[in-house]
A and B are shown apart, each in its own frame.
Chain A
Amino acid sequence: MKDRLKTKEQLISESVEMRQRVAEETERKRVGKTILKAEEYAESIVQTVREPLLVLDSDMRVISANRSFYQTFQVTPREVEGKVIYDLGNRQWNIPKLRKLLEDILPKNTVFNDFEIEHEFETIGRRIMVLNARRIYHETKRMQMILLAIEDITEQKRAEKELKQAEELKQAILALERSNRELEQFAYVASHDLQEPLRMVSSFTQLLAKRYQGKLDKDADEFIAYAVAGANRMQALINDLLTYSRVDTRGKSFKPIDSEAVFNQAVANLRVAIKEGEAVITHDPLPPLIADDLQIVQLFQNLLGNAIKFHGKEPPRIHVSAKQEGNEWVFSFRDNGIGIAPEYFDRIFVIFQRLHGREEYPGTGTGLTICKKIVECHGGRIWVESEPSKGSTFYFTIPTIRR
């Protein structure tokens, strides 16, 4: 009985022991579950994160990589797991500075952030990657490891660069526009303010001529004549400069216009020159335009006027036509005049540039410059095709739709 029967003390002690063991066991299971859960948790994060992640051991061998890593670098687990990171691919991670950073993490418990590399990768070409790494501790394996996160920032960099370039371009355009505006303002103010003193010079020389022509000596008459001619010429230059500088500031009223009417107006303005030069001007049907009518009259007038002025041996014959090409009208003004040598095709559009002496052909050298500015104000281009003594054809384009 004594053997079989346990003493009350024994029972109590066993019971306590048992309870302790149960409690211990429960606790162990609970901890184990927690550890497992923690691992699953960590693993699912690693797998879910959209950036490529690598877990390295202290020898820099890859313990695991996430799906994103395989996708991004287009490699298989077999090519990666167990390999030393520096040997991966075409040794793209074998960079002295990166090695130092990685190898310091475990012994010194350091971290590195945003280490940038640009490399020609085997599978995916030239990319820019930014790396972040830190130490992690693996509970079950009880070992120190390195978590390395890799982010492909190539697109972001490209976007930043484009944005920067776009911004720089915008600034450059703004600066250009500003300087252009200032120049126009300058040209306008200069020509406007120059008018006043010039008016004095020209008026008083004219007054001199009027009162004293023939009353002084021959020299005086000649000097006065030169002074008057110079002042008149200066006046013409300033007026043309003023016209030129006003093209932009005033050309803001684009509206539907009938270029036949514009043509007729230009011809009417030139009637004296047409009659004196015995010019014959013909034209094909001309299209309606969205444009500044006054400027287009001036454009037609300058081109027709030039064709009359620079006539050859025959009386001027000028033909105007227009045809649609894509989104624009291409106008042509063809003449049978003296023509232009190819080396001057650009120069004729530069302000105050002249190819002839003033005795031969009068003018200030602004007509075609004004034409160019008008055409460009309308979003078009102007050019010439010509052969000396065979005539010239001036072309310009005007967009069919106003942008």
Chain B
Amino acid sequence: MNNRKTGKPVEILLVEDDPGDVRLTQEALKEGKVLNKLHVTPDGVETMEFLRQKGKYAKAPRPDLILLDLNLPKKDGREVLAEIKTDKDLKRIPVVVLTISQTEEDILKSYNLSANCYIIKPIDLEQFIKVVKSIEDFWFTIVTLPPTGRR
């Protein structure tokens, strides 16, 4: 896997419309131990363009992990999740739903759409940083991810 030793950063796509949240995630990831490159798409439509390398994202890398907020403008996170998980090229990319929503409905729906996990954003900064670091740690040092490349 990509890690600090090989010097090749992991590619993380953060789907998030709130610049404050983006910044917080960046700050949290800075404290992580894995060298990473964070890409951000602010809505569902751009996310799908990024993943399918369309338009201005023609040269976008294939992310190793997607952090997906549910409430997004234009096309919301649930739709994005459904599209990713039914696309034969994209479905193996792990998707971590990272949202403020605590509703049972959203949790069930996300898992039914094959989200890899569902995380409620902690309100407290320290907790939030801890969670983001844990996500990074879990997905890039513990988990064995499928080989990249589009098959």
A195 to B125, CA, bound (A): 13
Tell me whether B100 and A203 are in contact (CB under 8 A). no
Tell me whether B18 and A203 are in contact (CB under 8 A). no
Does B24 touch A at the CB level, under 8 Å? yes
Specify which chain B residues have a CB less than 8 angstroms from the CB of A200 in the assembled complex.
18, 20-21
Tell me whether A196 and B126 are in contact (CB under 8 A). no
Specify which chain A residues have a CB less than 8 angstroms from the CB of B137 in the assembled complex.
none
- Given A204-B20, A206-B126: A199 touches B27 (CB 8 Å cut-off): no
- Given A195-B100, A196-B100: A202 touches B123 (CB 8 Å cut-off): yes
A199 to B18, CA, bound (A): 12
Does A235 touch B at the CB level, under 8 Å? yes
List B residues 4-47 near A (Cβ within 8 Å). Answer: 18, 20-21, 24, 27
A200 to B121, CA, bound (A): 12
Does A190 touch B at the CB level, under 8 Å? no
Tell me whether A207 and B125 are in contact (CB under 8 A). yes
A153 to B78, CA, bound (A): 65
Look across to chain A and name the residue whose beta carbon is closest to the beta carbon of B101. Answer: A192
Does B128 touch A at the CB level, under 8 Å? yes
Specify which chain A residues have a CB less than 8 angstroms from the CB of B121 in the assembled complex.
199
* Chain A interface main SS type: helix
A195 to B101, CA, bound (A): 11
Chain B proximity of A193: nearest CB distance (Å): 9
A195 to B126, CA, bound (A): 16
Chain A proximity of B110: nearest CB distance (Å): 18
A95 to B18, CA, bound (A): 80
A203 to B128, CA, bound (A): 9
- Given A204-B20, A207-B27: A199 touches B123 (CB 8 Å cut-off): yes
Q: How many residues belonging to A are interface residues under a CB distance threshold of 8 Å?
A: 12
A199 to B126, CA, bound (A): 12
The residue that B18 contacts in the complex, of A196, A198, A210, A235, with Cβ under 8 A, is A196
A196 to B24, CA, bound (A): 13
Specify which chain B residues have a CB less than 8 angstroms from the CB of A198 in the assembled complex.
123
A204 to B121, CA, bound (A): 15
Chain A proximity of B38: nearest CB distance (Å): 17
A202 to B122, CA, bound (A): 12
Specify which chain B residues have a CB less than 8 angstroms from the CB of A207 in the assembled complex.
24, 27, 125
Chain B proximity of A268: nearest CB distance (Å): 23
A206 to B125, CA, bound (A): 7
Specify which chain A residues have a CB less than 8 angstroms from the CB of B123 in the assembled complex.
195, 198-199, 202, 235
Chain B proximity of A203: nearest CB distance (Å): 4
A244 to B20, CA, bound (A): 28
Tell me whether A202 and B100 are in contact (CB under 8 A). no
List A residues 203-226 near B (Cβ within 8 Å). Answer: 203-204, 206-207, 210
A28 to B126, CA, bound (A): 118
Chain A proximity of B60: nearest CB distance (Å): 28
Chain B proximity of A160: nearest CB distance (Å): 47
Look across to chain B and name the residue whose beta carbon is closest to the beta carbon of A209. Answer: B125
Specify which chain B residues have a CB less than 8 angstroms from the CB of A196 in the assembled complex.
18, 100
Specify which chain A residues have a CB less than 8 angstroms from the CB of B24 in the assembled complex.
203-204, 207
Specify which chain A residues have a CB less than 8 angstroms from the CB of B100 in the assembled complex.
195-196, 199
Specify which chain B residues have a CB less than 8 angstroms from the CB of A210 in the assembled complex.
125
Chain A proximity of B71: nearest CB distance (Å): 9
Look across to chain B and name the residue whose beta carbon is closest to the beta carbon of A203. Answer: B125
A174-208 vs B, CB cutoff 8 Å, 1 = contact: the mask equals 00000000000000000000011011101110110
Tell me whether B18 and A202 are in contact (CB under 8 A). no
Look across to chain B and name the residue whose beta carbon is closest to the beta carbon of A238. Answer: B123
Look across to chain B and name the residue whose beta carbon is closest to the beta carbon of A235. Answer: B123
List B residues 105-126 near A (Cβ within 8 Å). Answer: 121, 123-126
- Given A196-B100, A207-B27: A202 touches B125 (CB 8 Å cut-off): yes
Chain A proximity of B107: nearest CB distance (Å): 15
A12 to B27, CA, bound (A): 141
A200 to B18, CA, bound (A): 10
A199 to B124, CA, bound (A): 7
A195 to B121, CA, bound (A): 11
Chain B proximity of A360: nearest CB distance (Å): 26
Look across to chain A and name the residue whose beta carbon is closest to the beta carbon of B24. Answer: A203
Look across to chain A and name the residue whose beta carbon is closest to the beta carbon of B128. Answer: A203
The contact sample of 15 A-B pairs, CB cut-off 8 A, is A195-B100, A195-B123, A196-B100, A198-B123, A199-B100, A199-B121, A200-B18, A202-B123, A203-B20, A203-B24, A203-B128, A204-B20, A204-B24, A206-B124, A207-B27
Q: Which 7 pairs, one residue from A and one from B, show the smallest C-beta to C-beta distance?
A: A206-B125, A200-B20, A203-B125, A199-B123, A203-B24, A196-B100, A207-B125
Which A residues contact B (CB, under 8 angstroms)? Answer: 195-196, 198-200, 202-204, 206-207, 210, 235
6 A-B pairs besides A199-B100, A203-B128, A204-B24 with CB distance below 8 A are A196-B18, A196-B100, A206-B125, A206-B126, A207-B125, A235-B123
